[in-house]
Chains A and B, each alone.
Chain A
Amino acid sequence: MLQVALRHGFPGFRLDVGFAAAEAGVTALFGPSGCGKSTILAAVAGLLRPEAGRVSLGGRVLLDTEAGLCLPPEQRRCGMVFQDARLFPHLSVAANLRYGLKRAPPEATGPGLDEVVALLGLEPLLDRRPTRLSGGEKQRVALGRALLCRPRLLLMDEPLAALDAGRKAEVLPFLTRLCDAARLPILYVTHALDEVDALATRLVLLRGGQVLAADSVEALALRTDLPLAARRDAGAVLACTVEAHDAGRGLTRLGFPGGALQVPLRAEAVGTRIRTRLRARDVAVATVQPQGLSTQNILPAEVVALGAAATPHEVFVRLRIGPTELLSRITRDSAERLALRPGLAVWAVLKAVTVDRAQGGIETPG
């Protein structure tokens, strides 16, 4: 468990945040540029001394300004991945990878060099100098280097932000594998929602140096009062499990608590956990069961509540399928025409299902 409470003043800006991150898994610090995300990471890593604050990791206090305690970065064992990679240019990739490994305390455990090289596909790069690497390759080496210092916590400061879309797509699968394999708390700073969807299990929303909300990605996706909802891709995030493949029809059934989705045939094995996103604009509502639609997923649901959307002509409709909630964004006119009200039984018409990622772990059938 990582617990962070920090206060720090800059000219014209105050940071005042507190949050916790789970034992393992990715906690994304998400917000616009200049909201204090990177300052938080620097303070956790020990690269910046905040005016006041307390940081503890698994019962070990790293920073406590009240007690006058501030461990230097080399004693905190926080592996850090910077936006600009910061590889040592005078050392080969192999020597860069070993830099932290050589300095890790002897009792620290973690993956070995060969394991990390295999995980991140670094074998062909080992003898090269960082200047001879592409941006994506640099970032992969930086990930490996941070993991190899045997950290208790991984800090990632917008590791993909400096890469173009192609490089980003090249690094993201490795990053996903690392996050699944690391079994460490990971703080991941980003202002890109697609990275949150692909990697994060928990989300800390920041704005103007303050925490706006902190919860699981699934729970925050349903909050229409947050700035997340104003984005075009607001919607529910569902943790699904691959239930069955139907090769003949070219479909895979993904189960979620209370129902199931049909999606185009997936490669993942039955039992794999997959995160899907149902964007509010892709969810339509019908009061009678629709007939003759091409849509695969038409599910019985119940209206939970109606809420304001970003424009006055639209509303968000919160729907419940069993214990799972969905969001639908429709025009105010439609809501009035259909007389939608809490408790009403409706049909949710899912025009599109976005699969974000396979979450690695296989759920054993119970």
Chain B
Amino acid sequence: MLSPEEWQAVQLSLGVAGRSVAVSLLPAIGVAWLLARGRFPGRFLLDACVHLPLVVPPVVTGWCLLLLFGIQGPLGGPLFQWFGIRLVFTTNGAALATAVMSFPLIVRAVRLGLESVDSGLEAAARTLGARPLDSFLTVTLPLMSPGILAGAITAFAAGLGEFGAVITFASNIPGETQTLPLAIYSATQSPGGEGVAARLALVSFALAIGGLLSAEFLARRMNRLLGRA
């Protein structure tokens, strides 16, 4: 049904989106906690920074990443010199660009999940002898897990389709950084590529619908597990 090159784009997209979620999940939980429960000056600034990739043109986000993580960049330079890690024009770079773009989505969902947890339950855990971290891990985290799951699935689904930041920061290299949307774009630019574009678009539809359905199914199951149904 799909040619080897098209399969490659699909697999690459799944891999990039998966890696981007894996990288951003823990920081997103931390940032969501700071935004929901933290009381510190600069909270609104942090909130604004997290949401920047949602409102700034993706190409600009990709360009900023180029400046920061380029071989000569303030972060990319040391990474390359000390650890030999190069992010620009690599699959990992595509994952980083995707992670930055979907970060606000995860933070929002995780934060919603966290805000649905009654802080009175955490207070109860403390009076029962739990330290703050213990109370977070045994009470808050399990109860906010539907939010974390929702965030991860949304970010994964959105990550499959990330275009602007990826093409700017990681370029459009088949087998390396050419994810589904980039492959579709390339197909529409080449004569006789309509068939490829249509097949890949169908795959995109299928993945999106599968993602939504599994999110719904898991959310219901999780709420039952958490004793909410």
A and B interact: yes
Q: Is the CB of B142 within 8 A of A84?
A: no
A174 to chain B, nearest CB (A): 19
Instruction: Determine the chain A residues whose CB is within 8 A of the CB of B129 once the complex forms.
Output: 74, 77, 100, 103-104, 149
Tell me the B70-87 residues at the A interface (CB within 8 Å). none
The reply to whether the CB of B14 lies closer than 8 angstroms to some CB of chain A is no
Q: Is the CB of A74 within 8 A of B130?
A: yes
CA distance A146 to B128 in the complex (A): 7
The reply to whether the CB of B125 lies closer than 8 angstroms to some CB of chain A is yes
Instruction: Determine the chain A residues whose CB is within 8 A of the CB of B138 once the complex forms.
Output: 99
Q: Is the CB of A47 within 8 A of B123?
A: yes
CA distance A350 to B229 in the complex (A): 55
Q: Is the CB of A149 within 8 A of B128?
A: yes
Tell me the B120-139 residues at the A interface (CB within 8 Å). 120-121, 123-132, 134, 138-139
CA distance A145 to B130 in the complex (A): 13
CA distance A80 to B143 in the complex (A): 21
CA distance A45 to B126 in the complex (A): 9
Q: Residue on B with the closest CB to A102?
A: B129
The reply to whether the CB of B68 lies closer than 8 angstroms to some CB of chain A is no
Q: Is the CB of A46 within 8 A of B227?
A: no
The reply to whether the CB of B226 lies closer than 8 angstroms to some CB of chain A is yes
Interface string of A110-151 (1 = CB under 8 A from B): 000000000000000000011110000000000001100100
CA distance A86 to B127 in the complex (A): 12
The reply to whether the CB of A53 lies closer than 8 angstroms to some CB of chain B is no
Instruction: Give the interface size class of chain B.
Output: 20 to 34
Known A-B contacts A89-B143, A89-B228; A100 and B120 likewise in contact (beta carbons under 8 Å):
no
Q: Is the CB of A99 within 8 A of B225?
A: no
CA distance A47 to B125 in the complex (A): 11
CA distance A84 to B123 in the complex (A): 13
Instruction: Determine the chain A residues whose CB is within 8 A of the CB of B139 once the complex forms.
Output: 88
Tell me the B46-76 residues at the A interface (CB within 8 Å). none
CA distance A72 to B226 in the complex (A): 28
Instruction: Determine the chain B residues whose CB is within 8 A of the CB of A129 once the complex forms.
Output: 227
CA distance A46 to B139 in the complex (A): 19
CA distance A36 to B127 in the complex (A): 20
Interface string of A146-160 (1 = CB under 8 A from B): 100100000100000
Q: Inter-chain contact count A-B, CB under 8 Å?
A: 71
A90 to chain B, nearest CB (A): 4
Q: Is the CB of B128 within 8 A of A145?
A: yes
CA distance A97 to B54 in the complex (A): 45
The reply to whether the CB of A82 lies closer than 8 angstroms to some CB of chain B is yes
Q: Is the CB of A86 within 8 A of B130?
A: no
Instruction: Determine the chain A residues whose CB is within 8 A of the CB of B229 once the complex forms.
Output: 131
Known A-B contacts A86-B120, A89-B143, A90-B143; A73 and B227 likewise in contact (beta carbons under 8 Å):
no
Q: Is the CB of A99 within 8 A of B143?
A: no
Q: Is the CB of B225 within 8 A of A103?
A: no
Q: Is the CB of A86 within 8 A of B126?
A: no
Q: Is the CB of A103 within 8 A of B123?
A: no
Q: Is the CB of B126 within 8 A of A73?
A: yes
Instruction: Determine the chain B residues whose CB is within 8 A of the CB of A100 once the complex forms.
Output: 128-129
The reply to whether the CB of B118 lies closer than 8 angstroms to some CB of chain A is yes
The reply to whether the CB of A79 lies closer than 8 angstroms to some CB of chain B is yes
Q: Is the CB of B120 within 8 A of A99?
A: no
CA distance A91 to B130 in the complex (A): 15
Q: Residue on B with the closest CB to A148?
A: B128
Instruction: Determine the chain B residues whose CB is within 8 A of the CB of A99 once the complex forms.
Output: 125, 128, 130, 138
Interface string of A58-96 (1 = CB under 8 A from B): 000000000000001110111110101010111100000
Q: Is the CB of B118 within 8 A of A131?
A: no
Which residues of chain A have a CB within 8 Å of any CB of chain B? 45-47, 72-74, 76-80, 82, 84, 86, 88-91, 99-100, 103-104, 129-132, 145-146, 149, 155
Which residues of chain B have a CB within 8 Å of any CB of chain A? 118, 120-121, 123-132, 134, 138-139, 142-143, 225-229
